[in-house]
Structure 1
Amino acid sequence: MRVGFVTIGQSPRVDVFNDIKHLLPKDIEIVEKGALDNYTEEEINKKLKPRKNETTYITKLKNGKEVKISKNKVVKLLKDVIKELNKEGVDLIVILCTGSFPRFASEVPVIYPYKLLEGFVSALNPRVLGVLAPAQEQINYLTRRWLKKCPKVVVEAISPYTSDLKDFLNVGKRLAEEGVKVVVMDCIGYSISQAQVIKASLGEDSLVLNPRLALVTFIRALTFFSS
């Protein structure tokens, strides 16, 4: 099975696949593409930066730098990338971003991680939900989004790309003080090791939803009967 993985930043996403490649089914062929692959850093900063009142998405460039881009502008770029992957004959497409997106035209199934996370939270039905946001600019947006799934939401902003594990430990402690037992890490940039730190700071009875692990679990389920 050929699986197209689409980042809203630049490919390859070495950070993501170093974390999950050993967990993915051994027989899948990984095809990576990025919405910003044809843009220089200067062009990104000039053309794709979010304006006031535009939804901000956070991603990573090939050089490892974090970058903030406009959701509306990246949606148009993603449409083209998904068309390319369809022409290349992939069997499945995975969006490497937990942000919400419209349904893209595609002849093959497209996995949207935000729908996976929302499904997990709906199934768990927590009284209080902790949410990790990759930037301060996303706090209000993510609060509104997750209040549709839970009556009380506590959002903490912490970058998956520039924060160290001690920062995650402190965030976990603050969430614990708010009575949080279920946490959604709302960015594909959050690593498994960062999730482990949050889990340790909240206690053994806590549940931490890491989008990388959610994707791996879903892909393994979809390919379970594949030859």
Structure 2
Amino acid sequence: MIAKRMGMITIGQSPRTDLVPEIQEILGPEMEVMEAGALDGLSHEEVKRFYPRKGDIVLCTRMADGTEVVVGRRHIIPRVQHCVNVLTERGAEVLLFLCTGRFPEFSTEKLFIEPQKIVDHMMAALLSGKERVGMLVPLASQTEQARKKYGRLKGEVIIRAASPYGRPEELRTAGRELKAANPSLIVMHCMGYSEAMRRTLREITGKPIVLARSLVARVVKELLS
């Protein structure tokens, strides 16, 4: 499939100046990118009604001013569908979801690329035996959910939390804990983690690092070339 117009959807606010440029660098200048966000047009006060409650699947994302916000998935699902509709109307030929979380299927006739499926199939391939893999997720509240999800796979997953939108020391602390656990490699399981964060984690741990955003971008590049 050859496409020249891609719509990118964040569960936070667009434009994602911290994320999209790194993906676009891999895709190449010939790809026109349009963005939409599930929280576009909302103030911090308005977003409070989307805060997670007990039993909600928790998501971590970014506001336009760079601040972190935590929301419940059930609030975001219909707003992502709206983004799908808007970008389709604007002429997007393919849609890339900028989140590695698991979501229900969205209604669209366009190719809808879900990073969760790309990253998780890679995890399944890596955990084929006695491998020990480290994983970084944004929130401590997400670690138990991740353990249940990956506990069904062979091998061992060591999970630590550090927000891509938080203090740099969070990442360094998580990195030291992962180094002590001595995994064979580490997966940064959130599209918010950057190339600079990967370098920091690699310097601390000395381990190979799989960065979700660059992995997904390279798969998309292969698919659309």
TM score, norm. by length of structure 1: 0.90
Answer whether contact 1:118 1:149 (CA < 8 A) is retained.
no
Q: Which runs of 5+ in 1 are unaligned?
A: none
**Match for residue 122 of structure 1 among 121, 124, 139:** 124
| 1:160 corresponds to | 164
1:6 is matched with 9
SS at match of 1:15: coil
Counterparts of 1:167 and 1:72 in 2: how far apart (Å)?
27
Distance in 1, Cα, partners of 2:198 & 2:136: 10
Bigger Cα displacement from structure 2, 6-15 vs 72-81:
72-81
The size of the alignment, in residue pairs, is 220
Percent of pairs with identical residues: 28
Residue 164 of structure 2 aligns to a residue in which SS?
A: coil
1:90 lines up with 2:92 in the alignment: yes
2:19 corresponds to which residue?
16
Q: 1:147 aligns with which of 142, 145, 151?
A: 151
Q: CA deviation at 1:59?
A: 0.3
Residue of structure 2 in register with 1:103 after alignment: 105
RMSD, aligned α-carbons: 1.6
Equivalent position SS for 1:199: helix
Structure 2: gaps of 5 or more residues: none
C-alpha change, 1:122 and 1:144, in structure 2 (3 Å) is same
Distance in 1 (alpha carbons) for counterparts of 2:174 and 2:83: 35
Does the 8 A contact of 2:136 with 2:187 survive in 1?
yes
Paired residue secondary structure (2:105): coil
Using the size of structure 2 for normalisation, the TM-score is 0.91
Residues in 2 aligned to 1:102 and 1:185: alpha-carbon distance in whole angstroms: 22
Q: Deviations over 1:60-104 (max 9, x none)?
A: 000111000011110111111112222222111001111011111
Residue of structure 2 aligned with 1:49, choices 15, 36, 51: 51
Tell me the residue number matched to 1:29. Answer: 32
After TM superposition, list the pairs within 5 Å mapping 1:176-191 onto structure 2.
176-191=179-194
Query: For 1:166-205, what per-residue CA distance to the aligned partner results, in whole angstroms no more than 9, with x for missing partners?
Result: 54343223212212122221211111111122223332xx
CA distance in 2, matches of 1:129, 1:211: 14
Contact 1:117 1:209 (C-alpha < 8 Å) held by counterparts: no
